[in-house]
Structure formats: C-alpha cells, structure tokens
Structure 1
Amino acid sequence: MAQDFRFHHLAIIARSYEETVSWYCKHFGFAVAQEWSAPDMLPGARMCYLRKGDFHMEIIGDGEKAGEHAVAADPKQEYQITGYRHFALEVDDVDAAVAALAADGVPAFFPPTDLDIVGVRAALVRDPDGNAVELIQWR
C-alpha cells in the first residue's frame, strides 16, 4: 500500500524562545497550540507548536546551541546557499502586507517583485534569527 505523505510542520531553532514565539504570533497571527520541554535531548530548551489554520511550526528555543546558521547578505545570495531557505505565507496583497510589516518594524529584505515566470508577486522578510519568510500573492 502506498503511503500518503502529508505536511505536518517545519521546525526553527531559535536563540530566544520568547522572542521568536512572540514575533510569529504578533506579525502573522500564529497561536501556541502546545508547549513542552525535552531535557534529555536539549537541556534548558523550551519547545512549542505554533498553529495558524492547518499550518504548524515547531519553535525550539533557549538551551545550548552549537552555533549560528548562515544568513545570506542579499536576496540573490539567499538562493545560492544549499539547504532550507524560507517558507511562504500566501497573502491577498503582498504590497499591503509588506507595508503593514514595515510599519511594525519588520522591513522586507527582498521588496515586492513580480515573478512572471511563475505568475506571482513575492517579497521576503526575516524573523529575529534571520530566517526568511516569503510573502506570496498569486496574480
């Protein structure tokens, strides 16, 4: 029997649990669905699932870390680094979403741009640890 693979969550390792959880809840409307710790796996860390609709994010924060992850210096470099680069949130109006986030202190590092090859308008912002979040609007 073939397996049916369904998306469950993505995980972010955060320097500050409180700051990261607060940022995603404030700017994108996520809510904490469940919190826990796993002292045998990562002493001192706090963990949670954030949820918005059917979309879940796992935030793992505080505790000991081995180092920082690579953050691209500019948007073009963002696509030249191997590995996870961003996740996307669909919006009705990218320009309005970027303006609202900028007014709230979250500037776009890749401004609203038409990507005609895929029929979208998109922009990128960064969370407190430099992780990219794409805002995407179908045209």
Structure 2
Amino acid sequence: MSVADLNAQRAWYQRALGLHEVIEEFQLDEPAVRTVVLRSGSGVRLELIERAGASRNRDYVDPLDAASTLGFGHWAVSVRDLDAAFAAIVAAGGVGVWPPVDAVQPGARFAYVKDPEGNLIELIQPPATTVTSPE
C-alpha cells in the first residue's frame, strides 16, 4: 500500500494491527522510494511503500464510495473478536467508518475503519466453527 509517511504508518500498523515483525526494508535514491514489509504473529503481511511526490486521487467516504472507482478501494483482514479489534483500532487513532454488523454469511460479522491516512480496512470476523465428535 502506498503511503505518504512511511514512519508514521509503520508505527500505526504495528500498534493497531499487531504487525510487529519487520520482514524486509528497502530504499531507492532515484526515484526516492522507501518500503517496509510487516508481518503479524498470525502471518498477515503488509507492504508499505513511500514514494516522494506521490498523491491520492481522492479520498473514499466508505466502501460503497470506494467501489465506484476501479482499482484498490480497501483491503481486508480476518479478526477473532470484531468488537475488540474495532475498538482497539479506533483507540489507536483509526477512524470508524461502519461499526460492526452481521454479514451475509450466517455467523460472520464485519466493520470498516480507516487508518490515519484514510486507507479503508475491512475487518472480518468469520463464523464460529463448531467441532463435532463422531458418534
């Protein structure tokens, strides 16, 4: 994901989403580009890229607005406890866009937040799985 401030976004994603492990860092002088690949304990990876002079075409109000433009609109991550994840991200400086609600898939729930630069993130809590023993 292209970001305006690599250091600030890196710190936010480490704090808000637990992407603490740094897998890779890279820098070019021309064009001026810096990248970092972060990973969570569960294996989620995110690459943040900062390029000098980059700009955003437009900000999205919500996921339906983002769907009106081709290309990247949001990214999604699976969470175990949607309410806790939503609250933690907002407490860490994220912006709540759509609060947790039931999804179409029975038992699943979802919500949307924005990171400090306005990138949309969908939080998805899959349905609880029940383990049955053979009879």
Asked if these proteins are the same fold (TM beyond 0.5), I'd say yes
Q: Which residue of the partner structure matches residue 68 of structure 2?
A: 80
| TM-score, structure 1 as length reference | 0.78
Counting matched residue pairs gives: 124
Q: Which residue of the partner structure matches residue 132 of structure 2?
A: none
CA distance in 1, matches of 2:119, 2:57: 9
Q: Does 1:39 align with 2:39?
A: no
Tell me: CA distance 1:89–1:62, structure 2 relative to 1, closer, same or farther (3 Å). Answer: same
CA distance in 2, matches of 1:50, 1:79: 26
Letter matched to residue 26 of structure 1: R
Q: Is the 8 A contact 1:106 1:126 kept in 2?
A: yes
Which ranges of structure 2 fall in alignment gaps of 5 or more residues? 128-135
- The match for 1:57 among 22, 40, 46 is 46
Secondary structure of 2:99's match? Answer: strand
Letter matched to residue 17 of structure 1: L
Counting aligned pairs with the same residue, the percent is 31
Secondary structure of 2:118's match? Answer: coil
Q: Is the 8 A contact 2:12 2:92 kept in 1?
A: no
* More off after superposition, 120-129 vs 78-87: 78-87
Secondary structure of 1:37's match? Answer: strand
Q: Is the 8 A contact 1:17 1:62 kept in 2?
A: no
Q: Give the drift of 1:98.
A: 1.1
Q: Does 1:129 align with 2:121?
A: no
CA distance in 1, matches of 2:70, 2:122: 17
CA distance in 1, matches of 2:126, 2:83: 13
Which ranges of structure 1 fall in alignment gaps of 5 or more residues? 1-11
